[in-house]
Structure 1
């Protein structure tokens, strides 16, 4: 008679990393790897929750020294005031250098034109890519996660961009055993995604564990909104509401933050981190799928923008 031995995992081991510890460790490793491989990296920072967590991880990776990277924000001009205020306070608090690529500057110069729908998210690509080229950034950290959207699910942690900042899915490099290939030709650069393997729930649980401050719009608050294409949008100079769209005051919060013209709020009474975590755990829609109109322009809207140089 053959005896089969079974091996059980000792989940109580003091040496076992928790799920969040493992994600944190991976992200810290990625930041340090980039610092060792590249000459002039930059962190995309919008004041949204993913970029906030990303900056928190970068600070952990190099503590007690300062973060050795500057920040970059592509400003659409249609940002939520609460988020811009948070961005500026964070930069001042940590003594960071902030580069701003302004969509409004490109519109004023006639290089870009306003879209009929008022959204400026698709207009971010040119300011972003030209700022990368002018500042000679060779690695650009983004807060994209694979669970957000199907095009982002295709992307590696180190994602090569050609000299025109374009993405070719066929040039994806294998990343076996968490070995990252940062080689690139002159003029090319690499987009780096330390949060690739995180989910929205992971991000919120980490925010709770680390006591990370967020802009208040991520929590339930009363706000004047109007409905368009099934989403609650905030009125603003970008062109809403239109005739027939009724503004009403509702208790809402934002799951993601972007251009006001295409970022919808959700009905919610979640005014604490604990309530937000409970709400997200029960949700069956990603935050972009539920609240980002720019991703609904076509089935391949995100992938098309990524091929052109967007994140």
Structure 2
């Protein structure tokens, strides 16, 4: 039996293509859509965490397919550190318009003004502080589930996650009390004040994400493609030179061809040297890469890889 490929947003691409056999991307897509529909059926007020990165772009597209032909069945939530690349914020807003979504933005800066987040230095990374702002947003809107684009191949702590991750009233995660998910049966019950973090693309790899972006023609911020940028070398990592992250005394600023494998807070996201200026080139480069996405590009995680599990236990996404 021939299976139609789902319609693209706004009818901007043909819908007459057919294929005869399910490939790996089809199976991953079907699993993710099943998970999203479980959330729609079982949760009262979910939200999709959308940062403007490639994983959340894939998740947004999958959610659009899961609810089609109806509008998206949940709002988007962006926890803004205030230290994002302008290109990513502009892309976020374009995607909201593209999918006809509702977007809530809550900033770490607001938490700082309230006194719930306190910085040791005005220029320190705000990445870890996002969990406070997230919990405040969950309480404000009454979300009982937050959909995230985390993948299990990113780093060790995320590999311990279930698809439906139970969080207590403080947003804390305890790996030893997570529930079994045999035969794709999910327990969505939570204690009063608690909520779920749900990860529909848990079984995807970085390569799967890039291949899906190509297949579905999902746009991305230009930062993901090769461009020239001023950087300094710190060990084997390229640190971007910006107003927030200036070069340190004695460092040599270079202008190199590079791209980002992941985008996030400027203070902790590093590019990699690359000439890959198309999805085809990125896919080929990723297929040959032996260093994880976060191992190559996340300045804070490299400094203390074990910190991610601690952050997750404290409520980080």
Q: Indicate the TM-score class for this superposition, using the shorter chain for normalisation.
A: over 0.9
Query: In the aligned structure 2, how far is the partner of 1:120 from the partner of 1:230?
Result: 23
Paired residues of 2:228 and 2:257 also in contact (CA < 8 A):
yes
Deviation of the 1:286 alpha carbon: 1.0
Q: Does 1:86 align with 2:103?
A: no
Q: Which of these residues, 19, 25, 50, is aligned with residue 55 of structure 2? A: 50
CA deviation map 1:105-153 (0-9, x unaligned):
2223443233457211111110011111221100100000000010000
Tell me the residue number matched to 1:162. Answer: 168
Deviation of the 1:98 alpha carbon: 1.1
Query: In the aligned structure 2, how far is the partner of 1:300 from the partner of 1:50?
Result: 22
Q: Provide the secondary structure at the position in 2 that maps to 1:122.
A: coil
Deviation of the 1:90 alpha carbon: 1.2
Query: In the aligned structure 2, how far is the partner of 1:115 from the partner of 1:222?
Result: 33
Tell me the residue number matched to 2:8. Answer: none
Query: In the aligned structure 2, how far is the partner of 1:302 from the partner of 1:252?
Result: 26
Tell me the residue number matched to 1:266. Answer: 272
Query: In the aligned structure 1, how far is the partner of 2:120 from the partner of 2:100?
Result: 36
Query: In the aligned structure 1, how far is the partner of 2:73 from the partner of 2:148?
Result: 16
Task: Kindly tell me the number of residue pairs found equivalent between the two proteins.
Answer: 298
Query: In the aligned structure 1, how far is the partner of 2:79 from the partner of 2:33?
Result: 24
What TM-score results when the alignment is normalised by the length of structure 1?
A: 0.92
Paired residues of 1:165 and 1:309 also in contact (CA < 8 A):
yes
Q: Does 1:61 align with 2:66?
A: yes
Instruction: Compute the RMSD of aligned alpha carbons.
Output: 1.5
* 15-24 vs 216-225, which moves further: 15-24
Query: In the aligned structure 2, how far is the partner of 1:289 from the partner of 1:115?
Result: 26
Gaps (5+ residues) in structure 2? 1-18
Q: Provide the secondary structure at the position in 1 that maps to 2:229.
A: strand
Query: In the aligned structure 2, how far is the partner of 1:239 from the partner of 1:20?
Result: 38
Query: In the aligned structure 1, how far is the partner of 2:120 from the partner of 2:298?
Result: 16
Tell me the residue number matched to 1:294. Answer: 300
Q: Which of these residues, 272, 277, 283, is aligned with residue 277 of structure 1? A: 283
Tell me the residue number matched to 2:201. Answer: 195
Paired residues of 2:116 and 2:132 also in contact (CA < 8 A):
no
Deviation of the 1:15 alpha carbon: 6.5
**Largest Rg, 1 or 2:** 1
Tell me the residue number matched to 2:250. Answer: 244
Deviation of the 1:163 alpha carbon: 0.6
Q: Does 1:152 align with 2:185?
A: no
Query: In the aligned structure 1, how far is the partner of 2:152 from the partner of 2:129?
Result: 23
Q: Does 1:179 align with 2:185?
A: yes
Query: In the aligned structure 2, how far is the partner of 1:76 from the partner of 1:289?
Result: 22
Paired residues of 1:295 and 1:301 also in contact (CA < 8 A):
yes
Paired residues of 1:251 and 1:267 also in contact (CA < 8 A):
yes
Tell me the residue number matched to 2:35. Answer: 30
Tell me the residue number matched to 2:25. Answer: 20
Tell me the residue number matched to 2:313. Answer: 307
Spell out structure 1 runs of 4+ moving beyond 4 A.
none
Tell me the residue number matched to 1:3. Answer: none
Task: List aligned pairs for 1:97-112, cutoff 5 A.
Answer: 97-112=102-117
Tell me the residue number matched to 2:9. Answer: none
Q: Which of these residues, 121, 133, 142, is aligned with residue 136 of structure 1? A: 142
Query: In the aligned structure 1, how far is the partner of 2:155 from the partner of 2:244?
Result: 25
Query: In the aligned structure 2, how far is the partner of 1:132 from the partner of 1:220?
Result: 37
Tell me the residue number matched to 1:210. Answer: 216
